[in-house]
Structure 1
Amino acid sequence: MRVEIDESSAAPVYAGLLKAHEEVLAGRFQRDSTAPRALYGDESVTAWSLVSLGVPASEARTWGKINFGELRGEWLTTAKDLAVVCLNPEHPSFVSRNLTRSTRKPQQPATVGRYVAAIRDYHAVARWGGYPASLADWEPDDYEEALVTLERAGAISADRLENLERVPRLLHSLREVIPGAPGRALWASPRLSPFADRLGDRGQRDELKTAPVEPKVYYALLDAALAYVTVFATDIIECIGVASRYKERPSRSAGEPVRSRAARFDAYFTRPTTRIPMHRIPAADASDDVWLSAINWQMVAVQALGEVRSSAYIVASFPAGRARRALALSLARQGRHEIGGLFAPNARLEGRRVPWASGLSPNRLAVEIRMLRSACYIVIAALTMMRDSEVQELRRGCLTSYMGTPAVRSELIKGEDQRPSMHWWISEPVADAVRVLEKISTHPTHLFASSMGGAHNGVGIAANLSLAVFRKRINATIDQTGLAPIPEGHVAPHMLRRTMALLTERERGGQLAARHQLKHAYRASRSNSLTGAYTAQSDIWAGELHERQVEADARDILDELALAPTNRPVGPGASRVKTALRGSGVVLDRKAKARLLAQDFPDLRIGTANVCLGDRSLAACLTVEEREGSVEVRPTACDPTRCANSVLLPRQEPMWLAEEASVASMLAEPRLSPHARASLKSRMEELKMMTRHVK
C-alpha cells in the first residue's frame, strides 16, 4: 500500500545505531588531531564533516563532507546508519554485529556521500509520487518506477545509476545491523535488478573499467610534457629568478615622490636601448587603438620603475599618463618593441631555429609555470603508475633509492588510514620532473601546490582540469613551440596509470614490476587479479603494440645477421629477406633498417623453429579462400619446409641439423618396416630442403 510521506512527523520510527553525542569515527585512526570530530547528532544534524581523517592533497576543499540534505525521520536515520557502518565498520557500538564482507573495510567519505545521495534521490521521488513511507517497505517495482521518475527530471549519469542500484542491495545485506533496511530480498546482483538494461556492463565487477589513453594521444601528450621538463624548464626557472628581483610595490607611507617617479619614466622613454614590451605585434597599418591594446603596460611600469607596480601611472587619463602613452606608442610603431619584456627565452627544440617562446612577461610567466607544473605531473603519473593521490603527496626531498634503484617516496592513500610511506621506482625523466618541481613549487613541503585550488593551505592541484588546460594550450601554441598537436581523446590521471601498466606487461618481469608500482601487493587478496586487469591488453593499443613487436623482431633478426659475416637467412623465404635488406641500403642505421624490414613484412614473427614473414597471400597454412579474405596466418599449422614465408636464422639451424642427424641414424637401422622407412625418407627430403644451405 502506498502512502504519502508526512514531513511534519520528524520523529524516527526506530533509534539510530549511535546516540547523538557519539563520534561517527570513534576507534578509527584520525590524522588531524586539531579538526573537530563528527558526531552522529539528532534530527537537527544534517551534515557531517570528516576532515579529521586528513584531507589528501589531491582532493578539493569539499572532501569529507556528507550532506543528508532534506532527509528527516526514518529516512535520515537510515542514511546515517548506512553512512556510519560504511565509514567505520569497527565502531565500538556495533563491531560485534554481523557485517557483510563488502562493508568490513572502511570506505572513503566520497563513496559514502554517493550512497547518501542515492537515498536522497529515493526520498525525493517518494515525496513527489506517494511511495511507501519507509524504504524498508519498497518493492523492486517501486525502484523501477522511481528510476523512471528520476529520468524524467533529467539525465542520470552512469555513476549515479550504479549507486541507485547498489544502495538498496547494500541496505538489505545490512538488515541485521540497520533496523530501517529492507527485510525482504530485492535482487542478488546488478544483472537481476530493475536497472540491468540501463547499467549494461557497468554493474559488473569482473573487468577493470579504466581504459588506457589512445596511443596517438598518449605519445603526443608525453612528448609535450617531456619537452617542457627537459627543454623549456631552463628558461622558465631562470625567468622566475629574474622576476623575483623586482620588489613588490611599497606601501603608500613609504612611497616615493611623484616627481621622482616622473623622472624615472622620462629617463626610460628617452633611453636609446628602450624596447616597448608587447603582448603581440600588430600589423603596421593597424590603428593606434590596436597598437595601444597590444602594449604590455604592466611590463612597461616594471621596466621603468624596476618594481611590480600598477600600470595606472601610464594608462590613466591625466595629462602625464596621456603623454607617456603617446611616447610608448611612438617607440612601438618605430619598431622598438619586444614580446614579453621580462625575459627572452633561448631554449629550442632540436631542429628548430627559433626559441620556444618569443618572450616572457609576468602574466605569461605565471601561465608557463602552471604549464610546467602540469608537464611534471604528466611525466610522473605516466611513467611511475602512481595514483593521483600518491603523486600529489610528493614532498621536497622525496628522491631516494629503493633496493639499489632510483625511486621516489610518497604516501599510500587509497584504503589506508595510516597512509604508510612507500617507494616507487623511477626513470631519469621522472627525477628531472621532481627536481623541476622543487624549484618552482611555492609550498614549503609539497611539490604540487596552487593558490587557486587544493584541499587546504594551497596544497594540491585539480589534476583533470590541469590536463585539459595543458592540451588546449599546447595545441594553441604549436607554431611558437614547435611541438606536435595533441589529438582529441579522453585523458585522466588513472588512464595514464593504466596505459603504463599495459606497456610494462610486455617487458621481462613486467607484471611483477607493475604490481610493485601499482601497489596491489598490499591488497594481497586481489593483487593478482587487479594487476592482471591493469596490465591486460586493450583493443585500442593492439595495433600499436603489434607494430612495436614486429620492429623488435626485425631488430633481433638484424642483430643476429650482423654477428658474423657468414650469417645469412636460409629457407624458402630467405631470398625475400635478402632483397629487403639490400633494398634498404647500407647508408641506413640499424634502427632505420629494422623499421623498413618491419614495413615490408608487417606481420613478421619469430618462432622457435623458424621465422614467419606473415604474408597471407603466400601462406601455406591457409586455403585459397582464406588467403583472399582477412584470416590471419596460423603458426600452429606452419610447414616451414614448403611455405614461402618460412626463414631460418642461424640460431635455429642447430635444431634442424640435429633432427637431420637423428633421422639419418634411424634410417641406418636395418629392422625398419617399409612404411616407417618411407616416412623417414620423406622427412629427410624435407629437412634437406632447409639444411642444404646451412652446411
Structure 2
Amino acid sequence: MPAQPLPLGHGANRPADTTPVLSGRPLAADPSLMPQFGDRFWDLAVAGHAGNRYASEFFIDFESLSDATRREAAREFLFWRLNTHPVRGALPSISTVAAEWWNLRCFFRFLDTEHAGIRLDTVTQPVLDSYLLHCHGEELMPSSLRHRLQVIPRLHLAAEGMPSDALEINPWNGRPLSRIIGGRAVSRHENQTPRIPPRVIAPLVQAALFYVRTAAPDIISARAELTELQASVSEIQGLSLARLDRYLDSLAAGGRGVPVLDGTGLQPHLAGSPAYTYIMRKSRAGRDIAGGSYDDHIVRALERLGPEPGGMDSPITPHPQTGRPWRDRFSPPAVPHEERLLRAACYILIAYLSGMRDSEVKELRDGCHFTERSTDGVVVRHKVRSQLVKGGRGAPESWVVIEPVAQAIEVLECLPHRDLLFCRPVAGRPYSTISANRMNENLNAFRAHCAGIGFPVPDVDGEPWNLTTRQFRRTVAWHIAHRPYGTVAGMVQYKHLSVAMFEGYAGTSPSGFRAEVAAEEALARLADIVERYDDFKAGVRSTAPGGARTDNEFARVQEELQDFPGRVVDERRLHAMLKASAHTLHVGTLNDCYYQPETALCRTAGTEDRPLLNNCRPERCANSTITTRHRPAWEAARSDTERALTFVGLSDLQRTALRGHTSDIIRVIEGIDRAHS
C-alpha cells in the first residue's frame, strides 16, 4: 500500500516561484527552457522525449483555471507528481503528468459547476460518489474511466505538498479503484488491451502488404507528378486558350476523357471544381478558374470525349487478384488521401511484424533501417534503429525485423515527411505529426477501405472492429504464444516472426517483448488446464502413463472446492489451484505433457524446464496424458502408417518397423476407447 500523506500542516512549504519544475530529469531540449514553479505556463516538452507527439500535449496553461486557489492547487499537485518518488517504481513520465492535468481540470470543472466551486479541503465522500456517477454517465471505456478517477486518490496522497488547498479525506476509504468502478477484478499484471481477432488481422495485414508492395510505387509517382505540377504553377503567365485546346486535343489523341472526378465523387458542376482548376494548371492555360470561353471549351470537350476519373498521368498498376488497375487515375485531392492510407498500411506492418511499441514506431527517422550479415556471412538480418521512450527517458535502441517491415520503412522514406517518418508536413506549419488519436483514426479508415481493394475485413459481433495502436503488439505476442507455427498473411509465418523478434534487442532489452510473449504463454497454459479440468468434470479420463496422476490431481481440486453439479465455485480460487499444473503443461497434437524433468523420457539429463518435443514418446512417458481430444490425431497417424505399408519396394525391416508402430497406435486408440466405454 502507498504511504499515507502526512496530516495537513506538516507538509512541505510552497516551492519558490523560481524553483525549476523538472529538476533531475533528463532533458530533450535547452535547459534554459525549463519552466519554473511560478510561471503562468509550463511547457513540459523540454523533457518530453516522444518526438511523435504534438507539442501542445505537454503544454500546461494554468490561466485556463479562472480561480486563483485552483491554479495554485494545480501547480502544487503537478509539482508533487513531477518530483516525488512513489513508494514503488520510478517517477511518472512527462506524458502521464500531462494527461493528469486534463483529468484534474475535469474534476475541478465538476466541483465548480455541480458543487458551487467548493474547495478540496471541504470535499466529502458523497461529493466523490456524485463525481463517480457523473463519469459513468459519460460512458467512458473502463480504462478511460480509471484514468479519469485516478487523479482523486493521488490528490489525497499529494496533500502534504499542497499547502494552499488539499483533499483531506481518503477517497472511498482507500478501496482500490477496480472495486469502485465495478466489473471484473483483474491482476495488475494482466494486459487488458484487446487482441485483434484472427479474422480481422489476416485481411488487414494482407491489405497492408498490398499497399506497400503494389500501391506504394503508384502513390509515390503520383506525389512526384503533383509536386512538379505545383512547382510549375508560378511559371504560368496570364491566360492562353491555345494551350487549353492543345491539352484537350492531346486527351482525345490518347483516347482519354476530360478529368471531372476528384477521387471522391463526381463534381456536380465542372466550373469551380478541383478538376477545373487542375485542367487549367495541367494545360498551363492559367493558374486559376477563368470562366467564359474557357468554360465553353472544356464543356464541349467533355461532351465529345466523356469524363475521366482523376485525370493525372501517373499509371496505375494492375491488381494481382483481377489483372485490372487497382484504382482509377489519381486526382490532386486523391494523392494526400492515398498517402494517408499508405502511412496507415506502413504502420500496421511495422507495429505488428516488429513488436515495437507505438512510441517506438513513431520515433523512426530517415536512415533507421540497415542490414547486417551473420558471422558466417550467410544470413542477412534487417534491423531498425529507433528510440525507446519509457519512464520519461529516451534511449537509442535497435530491433531485428523481417523484410516486410524494411519495405514499409523504405516506402515511408519516399513519402513527404520531416525528420520523423510519421511526421507529415503541413503547409504553413513548422511541423505536424500523426499523434496516437489521429493514427487510430487513420487505422480505422484503412480498415474500412480494405473491402474496396479486395481484402474485406469482417465485422465482429455485428460491428466493425475498432483498431488502436496498442493492439498490434499485444496481438502478435498472443499469436506467437498460442500459434507459433501459424500463418499471419501470405507466406509470413509466426514462427519466422518470433525468431526475428527474439534476436538481439527485442528479446533481451527493456522493450520487454519476450516477457510479453511469456505472459501470454502463461495465460494460454492456464486456459488449457482449465479446459482439461472441465473435461475431467464431464467424465473425460486420461490414458497413457501420466493419465492417472493428472486425474488424481483434478479429483483433489474438485473435492477441495466441492465443485460438483449445482454448486458455484470461486473462479479465482480454481485458477489459483490449477496454476501450478498449468506451469508444466505443454499442449500437443498426440498428447499433453505435464512436464517433470526427472520422469521425462525425452531427455537423459533432466535439467531443463521444457520438453524436447522431437523426442517425445507419448504412449510410454510418465509425463504424458492422452484423452478423447487426441483421438483424431492418432487415427490420422494410423491411416498414414497403413498407407506407407502399401508402398512398393519397402524392405522387410521397414515393414516390420511400420507394423510395430501400427500396433502401438492401435493400443493407444483402444486405451482411449476403454477409458470412455
TM-score between the two structures when normalised by the length of structure 2: 0.65
Q: Which residue of 2 aligns with 1:37?
A: 34
Cα 1:321–1:108 change in 2 (3 A) is same
Q: Name 1:354's counterpart in structure 2.
A: 324
Alignment-derived partner of residue 405 in structure 2:
430
Give the percent of matched residue pairs that are identical in Structure 1 and Structure 2. 22
Cα separation, 2, equivalents of 1:457 and 1:58: 11
User: Does residue 277 of the first structure (1) align with residue 258 of the second (2)?
Assistant: yes
Instruction: Tell me how far 1:647 sits from its aligned partner.
Output: 4.2
Alignment partner of 2:150 out of 157, 166, 171: 166
1:502 to 456, 460, 478: 478
Deviation at 1:298, TM superposition (A): 3.2
Match of 1:246 in 2: 229
Task: Map 1:172-571 to 2 at 5 A.
Answer: 172-179=156-163, 181-182=166-167, 185-186=170-171, 190-191=175-176, 196-201=179-184, 205-246=188-229, 248-249=231-232, 251=234, 256-258=237-239, 261-271=240-250, 273=253, 275-280=256-261, 296-305=275-284, 310-313=287-290, 316=291, 318=292, 320-333=293-306, 338-401=308-371, 404=374, 405-417=381-393, 419-443=394-418, 445-452=419-426, 457-460=431-434, 462-475=438-451, 478=452, 481-485=453-457, 487=459, 488-505=464-481, 506-507=483-484, 521-523=508-510, 530-533=516-519
Q: Which residue of 1 aligns with 2:97?
A: 112
Letter of the 1:328 partner, please give it.
A
2:397–2:505 Cα contact (<8 Å) kept: no
- Alignment of structure 1 residues 579-658 onto 2, 5 Å: 605-607=589-591, 635-637=625-627, 645=635, 647-648=637-638
Aligned-CA RMSD value: 4.8
Structure 1's unaligned 5+ residue stretches are 1-11, 90-98, 282-286, 543-602, 610-633, 662-682, 691-695
Distance 1:218 1:150, change over 3 A: closer
Task: State the secondary structure of the residue aligned to 1:498.
Answer: helix
Contact 1:474-1:483 within 8 A present in 2 as well: yes
Cα deviation, residue 207, structure 1: 1.7
Q: Which residue of 1 aligns with 2:560?
A: none
1:128 positional shift: 5.0
Q: Deviations over 1:618-638 (max 9, x none)?
A: xxxxxxxxxxxxxxxx95456
Letter in structure 1 aligned against 2:476: M
- Range 349-358 or range 450-459, more displaced: 450-459
Q: How big is each residue's C-alpha offset from its partner over 1:100-149, in whole Å with a ceiling of 9 and x where there is no partner?
A: 324x5232334223434444444444445669955345444442244346
- Distance 1:325-1:148 versus aligned 2 partners, 3 A rule: same
The aligned residue for residue 144 of structure 1 is: 129
Cα distance change of structure 1 residues 163 and 138 upon mapping to structure 2, 3 Å threshold: farther
Q: Shift in Å at residue 421 of structure 1?
A: 1.1
For 1:225 and 1:358, locate their aligned partners in 2 and report how far apart those are by CA, in whole Å: 19
SS of alignment partner, residue 239 of structure 1: helix
Matches of 2:358 and 2:114, distance apart in 1: 42
Q: How far is 1:311 from its partner?
A: 4.3
AA aligned opposite 2:448: K
Aligned with 1:413: secondary structure?
strand
| Cα 1:185/1:250, change in 2 over 3 Å | closer
For 2:470, the aligned partner's letter is H
Structure 2 counterpart of 1:494, one-letter code: R
Residue-by-residue CA offset, 1:67-119 (whole Å, 9 max, x unaligned)? 44427455444432331232233xxxxxxxxx4324x5232334223434444
User: Counterparts of 2:343 and 2:629 in 1: how far apart (Å)?
Assistant: 56
CA contact (8 A) 1:165 1:190 kept: no
Query: Aligned letter for 2:259?
Result: M
Q: Given the superposition, is the C-alpha separation of residues 352 and 389 from structure 1 closer, same or farther in structure 2, using an over 3 Å criterion?
A: same
Distance 1:496 1:349, change over 3 A: same
Task: Report the 3-state secondary structure (helix = DSSP H, G, I; strand = E; otherwise coil) of the residue aligned with 2:33.
Answer: coil
Question: Counterparts of 2:150 and 2:170 in 1: how far apart (Å)?
Answer: 13
Q: CA deviation at 1:201?
A: 3.7
Amino acid at match of 2:415: I
In structure 2, relative to structure 1, the CA distance for the partners of 1:607 and 1:687 (3 Å cut) is closer
Tell me: CA distance 1:210–1:361, structure 2 relative to 1, closer, same or farther (3 Å).
same
Deviates more, 1:126-135 or 1:433-442: 126-135
In the alignment, the residues of structure 1 paired with residue 331 and residue 666 of structure 2 have an alpha-carbon distance, to the nearest angstrom, of 79
Q: How far 1:60 sits from its partner (Å)?
A: 2.5
Q: Is the 8 A contact 1:640 1:646 kept in 2?
A: no
For residue 411 of structure 1, give the secondary structure of its aligned residue in structure 2: strand
Pick closer, same or farther for the CA change 1:270–1:134 going to 2, 3 Å. Answer: closer
Name the CA shift for 1:40/1:352 in 2 (closer, same or farther; >3 Å): same
The whole-number CA distance in structure 1 between the counterparts of 2:210 and 2:11 is 63
In structure 1, give the amino acid aligned to 2:366.
R
Given the superposition, is the C-alpha separation of residues 166 and 273 from structure 1 closer, same or farther in structure 2, using an over 3 Å criterion? same
What is the CA-CA distance between 1:485 and the residue it aligns to? 4.6
Structure 1 residue identity aligned to 2:253? T
> What's 1:624 paired with?
none
Q: Quick one: distance in 1 between partners of 2:116 and 2:246?
A: 81
Q: CA deviation at 1:390?
A: 1.2
Distance 1:688 1:448 in 2: 57
CA–CA distance in structure 1, aligned partners of residues 152 and 267 of structure 2: 68
Q: 1:640 to 1:52 in 2, by over 3 A?
A: closer
AA partner of residue 466 (structure 1): N
The answer to whether 1:50 aligns with 2:44 is: yes
Offset at 1:19?
A: 0.9
- Of 88, 101, 107 in structure 1, the residue corresponding to residue 87 of structure 2 is 101
TM-score, normalisation: structure 1 = 0.64
Distance 2:670 2:450 in 1: 58
2:224 is paired with a residue whose SS is: helix
Quote the Cα distance in structure 2 between the aligned partners of 1:38 and 1:517: 39
| Counterparts of 1:529 and 1:421, CA distance in 2 | 20
**One-letter amino acid matched to 1:276:** G
CA distance in 1 between partners of 2:131 and 2:669 (Å): 77
Q: Structure 1 pair 386/145, CA: closer, same or farther in 2 (3 Å)?
A: same
Rounded Cα–Cα distance in structure 1 between residues aligned with 2:69 and 2:274:
65
Which letter does structure 2 place at the counterpart of 1:19? A
1:555-611 deviations in Å (ceiling 9; x for gaps): xxxxxxxxxxxxxxxxxxxxxxxxxxxxxxxxxxxxxxxxxxxxxxxx9923389xx
Structure 2, gaps ≥5 residues long = 1-8, 375-380, 485-494, 529-586, 594-623, 646-652, 672-677
Pick closer, same or farther for the CA change 1:402–1:22 going to 2, 3 Å.
farther
- Distance between the aligned counterparts of 1:515 and 1:105, measured in 2? 27
CA distance in 2, matches of 1:378, 1:639: 36
Match of 2:606 in 1: none
* 2:79 aligned residue: 84
> 2:22 maps to which residue?
25
Tell me by how many angstroms 1:212 deviates: 1.0
The answer to whether the 8 A contact 1:23-1:40 is kept is yes
